Amino acid sequence: MISKRKKVVLAYSGGLDTSIILKWLQTELDAEVVTFTAEIGQGEEVEPVRAKAELLGVKPDNIFIEDLREEFVRDFVFPMFRANTVYEGQYLLGTAIARPLIAKRQIEIARAVGADAVCHGATGKGNDQVRFELGYYALQPDIEVIAPWRQWEFTGREQLIDFAEKHQIPIAKDKRGDAPFSIDANLLHSSSEGKVLEDPEVEAPEYVYQRTISPEDAPDQATMITIDFERGDPAAIDGVTLSPAALLARLNALGHDHGIGRLDLVESRFVGMKSRGVYETPGGTILLAAHRGIESITLDGGAMHLKDELMPRYASLIYNGLWFAPERAMLQALIDTSQEHVSGRVTMKLYKGNATVVGRESPQSLYNQDLVTFEADSGGYDQRDADGFIRLNALRLRIAAARDLRLKSGK
């Protein structure tokens, strides 16, 4: 049984589900609700959320709507991309990376208004419930968390609709039936899951895609751009310095126009099940390729290989909601140290779903043309030194091969 609480900070999108949650908190828990809506580039106007919250009885002083796009990209997306982070070889973690920021701001608001609890609208089957709550507890260990989907008595969509109609909560017409799929979006990506996407054998219909045109419909002419990096972070496009959010938005527009960043993925959820999603990360896909391009000439091979070994662990920490865990902070410190000399310019070719590195330059480059040239030896490398190098590295292989031949011959 959930005890009654005086004040609750709700992560509020303004959609039907969180509006039902808002009214449920008021009617079932007798709670004073504080709503928090984050503008993180989801592609919809957030100000109408204010009017809807007021319509549902939230006091004006208890409505928080904040533009967090710059903080989102600067403090969460860019640090993640310094590690070239990819989950299960494909997913650029667009949903996962937004959750710690929302959780962080919710806790800050809860402290400011003296709230007793925080509340989210994530279901009991997905990853987001874990991500939100691990964030809450990492930042405020004694906070009380309300997770309605795990706690209320509703068992189906019809009961939710009945509750909404009873309490005069506006219902969009398409919400009276089954939505074809659910969408989550922010400045980094959009994700679509459920309903028409639940059968992994069936190709996703074109109307599922929100942020990219089909590669088949993309222009027949490639677009060439340059991206400037400073200590591992992108700073300018085509020589024009942009803020983090503006830069990612520009890359998104370019990626959209060339059909870049589509992903149809079956992934392993943290809660144990497999799920199929269609993700679009146009700007992030370009950025990942460009970052690896500038690292290829500025980052020492040993450091690069160590980063690649650690990256899957780092990706899992983010995917599983452990952004605020000490091991993630430790890995971030290592990653950030590696980026000290990762500065320079990458030239990208954007064409029909592809983002290809075609040039890279840096005043801190480790690339030495004198060493790699096929022309006369120069630069201090003596090819004869390779003889001993190879023989030493082959020693253990030769010993093992000699043993195996001896055993095979019976001697």
Residues annotated as part of the active site: 17, 99, 128, 182
Adjacency order of strands within the sheet including 223-230:
240-241, 233-237, 223-230, 344-351, 354-361
DSSP 76-101: IIHHHHHTT--BTTTB--TTGGGHHH
Could you give the 3-state DSSP secondary structure of residue 400? helix
Return the ∠ at Cα 84 (arms to 369 and 331), rounded to 5°: 110
Q: How far apart are CA 8 and CA 31, in angstroms?
A: 7
**Tokens standing for residue 280:** 């679009």
Contacts of 409 (CB under 8 A, 6+ apart): none
Q: How far apart are CA 87 and CA 81, in angstroms?
A: 12
Residue whose C-alpha is closest to residue 205's, from 176, 179, 180: 180
Q: How far apart are CA 189 and CA 121, in angstroms?
A: 20
